[in-house]
Structure 1
Amino acid sequence: MSVPALRIEGFVIVSADGRLANARNVMPDDLKIEGDKRFFTAALDGADLIVHGRHSQEEQPNAPKRRRLILTRKVQATAPDPSNPKSLLWNPAGCSFDDASRAAGVTSGMAAIIGGPGVFGMFMDRYDTFWLSVASRVQIPDGEPCFPGVPARSPQQVLAAHGLHAGEPQLIDAAQEVSVTPWRRIA
């Protein structure tokens, strides 16, 4: 009996101009939208592994309970995170994602990739689904682009260029006009 593979799903909320943070690399309050927070929390509650860089964190009560890989150049391959026994520090230059996820004790289920831009870029050709939330009323002209290649291309163009196809958008916060679109890889 073979073990099912780890599904790779990405999650981000962006401004109308494709930014996920301001020029200081901080998510502005304008992007902290209740409907998206509920969607994101439910998604992470169903994840088996969370993957992110040092600036991309989740500010939720269940965060310390989740297994995670935190990307860093400060370790050779993987190392325990001294601040959280459920976290593993991971240097992609020192070992593959598959090896790092095994070291974290996760070989099946869903890995949630939650950023930042470089981390999102590493998985562009591996996503099974990418959940792109767009806050259509928010602009961050000098902010941090969500993916490598933005703003020269839109986030949607970047996802499509990597073989992902847009599904039906779902309105997740009517008051703030925020929708989430699943971008799926079609086998």
Structure 2
Amino acid sequence: MLADARNVMPDELKFEGDKAFFTAALDHADLILHGRNSYEDQPNSPRRRRIILTRKVDAIAPDPANPKSTLWNPASASFEVACHHAGVDAGTVAVIGGPGVFGMFMDRYDEFWLSVAPHVRLPGGEPCFPGVPARSPQDILAAHGLRAGKPQMLDAAHQVTVTPWRRIA
């Protein structure tokens, strides 16, 4: 789960090591992609180009609240067109969710970093991917042609890890 039953990321799911890893990854991305209910709040956030998925626009529109953001309705325009509108035609795209957004790109990821906090339970929470909890996130990633790499410890006290899942060549 990536949020509780109220669709809020609770404090018990927030770990400094995970936050530092996430922030560093976003600092190296050329473009951030997320749903309209997701956001990232780091010091560099205002400088990042982003695409926000929404059904509130016909196809593609500038975000009136942020000059570095493009609003995108995937039902009416391709991802490539949205990227071009955002001014990014090549580079690294960081997809930061939620589940519908993650699900749209399952067959396109070159790499997906899955953080796991094994001692946190969020009954009735927002799953990270469509199909969770009937299937594990790991099973879903593997079913889409990704293979787990070596996990990295982010918070030893809470056993929080992040594992790279990479596309099988």
Range of TM-score over shorter length: over 0.9
Report the counterpart of residue 141 of structure 2 in structure 1: 159
Give 5+ residue unaligned stretches, structure 1.
1-18
Q: Report how many residues are paired.
A: 169
TM-aligned CA deviation for residue 31 of structure 1: 1.1
Report the counterpart of residue 110 of structure 2 in structure 1: 128
Report the counterpart of residue 84 of structure 1 in structure 2: 66
Secondary structure of the 1:85 match is strand
Cα deviations by residue, 1:130-185 (Å, 9 ceiling, x for unpaired): 00000111011110111000000000000001000000011011122110000000
Separation in 2, partners of 1:141, 1:157: 20
Separation in 1, partners of 2:33, 2:58: 17
Structure 1 residue ranges, 4+ long, deviating more than 2 angstroms after superposition: none
Give 5+ residue unaligned stretches, structure 2.
none
Identity %, equivalent residues = 74
Report the counterpart of residue 66 of structure 1 in structure 2: 48
Secondary structure of the 1:101 match is helix
TM-score using structure 2 length: 0.98
TM-aligned CA deviation for residue 109 of structure 1: 1.2
Separation in 1, partners of 2:104, 2:149: 22
Between Structure 1 and Structure 2, the one with more helix by share is 2
Structural RMSD (CA) = 0.7
Aligned to 1:109, which of 91, 102, 118?
91
Amino acid in structure 2 at the alignment position of 1:26 = V
TM-score using structure 1 length: 0.89
Secondary structure of the 2:82 match is helix
Q: Identify the structure with bigger relative contact order (alpha carbons < 8 Å, sequence gap 6+).
A: 1
